[in-house]
Amino acid sequence: MKKILGLIASQRKLANGEILTKEVAAAAGNDCQLELLRLADLKLDMCRGCYACLTPGKQCPVDDDLYFLVEKIKAADGIILAAPCYALGPAAVTKVLGDRIIALAQLIDDLWGKPCVVIATAGIEGWEGYTLSALNAMARFMGFGLKDSHMFMGALPGEGILGEGALFRAREMGQALFGQARRAGEGECPTCWSEIWKFPQPGTAVCPICGQIANLVAGEKGIQWVYGDSSSMFNKEQLKHHFQGWLRGKVQEFISRRKELAVVRDRYKGNEPWLITPRGIK
């Protein structure tokens, strides 16, 4: 029996993401068992930037449910991540979790390649913003093997599965979870599937998520996108180098430069009259 862990970012019960997650899981196969976890039910605090988790053998010192979630992910054979679009981006709890990537990346060997599909939902086409690109990047940062992702439309609870082609697409995603990954769609970065591009100079496009470069060439059929080689930051070696190597090196650099940097920081130290704190907190 394969275990599927559904990570639901909406606080609404039986929201579109939860309904779609159940459809996707059902299509993954009769030998699959779904377990749902609402991220909003967990105590997930913000990263403090203390870098304590970078010490080999040490965990993040924040006392919350991060490692409970990690154990659930490690025990699962596949992951479904579902989040609604709020203010053009995914629900805030996904960002809180994503910001704990320094601690999570220390466990990259345990999480690497875990098959995952991403479900995003939005109320109206044109207002989905960067939601899907952000969720895809989050899944890749956590080392998951992203098999499929899709933006579903539906403002009201239950509408997401009623849209044209939605049920077919959900079942297609379920088959992809333990099957073959989809290819990048039209307009998506071929490396990370981001829908967002920067144009630093005429004729050149750069993916701001993974750094994929494309040259825009005029041809008989209009503008053609010619992609260069990708050195994606989302491969295992790059992730381990950044989060287990480079960052640890910066910690050692800070220790060696502590006195020098303290001189700079002390200039801005003091009981600033402009600092506002709620309810008298100091």
Per-residue pLDDT of the chain (282 residues; tens, 9 = 90+): 999 999 999 999 999 999 999 999 999 999 999 999 999 999 999 999 999 999 988 999 999 999 999 999 999 999 999 999 999 999 999 999 999 999 999 999 999 999 999 999 999 999 999 999 999 999 999 999 999 999 999 999 999 999 999 999 999 999 999 999 999 988 899 999 999 999 999 999 999 999 999 999 987 888 888 998 876 789 999 999 999 999 999 999 999 999 999 999 988 887 667 777 787 655
Both 135 and 258 in one domain: the answer is: no
Q: Mark 171-181 as b/e (b = at least 16 C-beta within 10 Å).
A: ebbbbbbbeee
Both 178 and 240 in one domain: the answer is: no
Helix, strand and coil in the chain, % to nearest 5: 35, 20, 40
> What is the pLDDT at residue 271?
65
170 found inside a domain = yes
Both 117 and 255 in one domain: the answer is: no
> What is the pLDDT at residue 281?
59
Both 150 and 255 in one domain: the answer is: no
Residue 245's domain comprises: 236-271
The pTM for the full model equals 0.92
Q: Which residues pair with 227 in a beta bridge?
A: 214
Number of compact structural domains in the chain? 2
> What is the pLDDT at residue 280?
60
Identify the CATH number of the domain in which residue 121 sits.
3.40.50.360
Count CB-CB contacts under 10 A for residue 45: 14
Candidates 181, 162, 161, 185; CA nearest to 26 is 161
Amino acid at 73: I
Both 177 and 248 in one domain: the answer is: no
> What is the pLDDT at residue 272?
67
187 found inside a domain = no
Both 240 and 177 in one domain: the answer is: no
> What is the pLDDT at residue 41?
96
> What is the pLDDT at residue 35?
97
104 found inside a domain = yes
Both 244 and 133 in one domain: the answer is: no
Both 21 and 148 in one domain: the answer is: yes
Both 84 and 158 in one domain: the answer is: yes
Look at residues 120, 155, 182 and tell me which one is the last residue of a structural domain. 182
224 found inside a domain = no
For residue 146, CA distances in Å to 21, 83, 112, 116, 227 come to 15, 15, 11, 5, 21
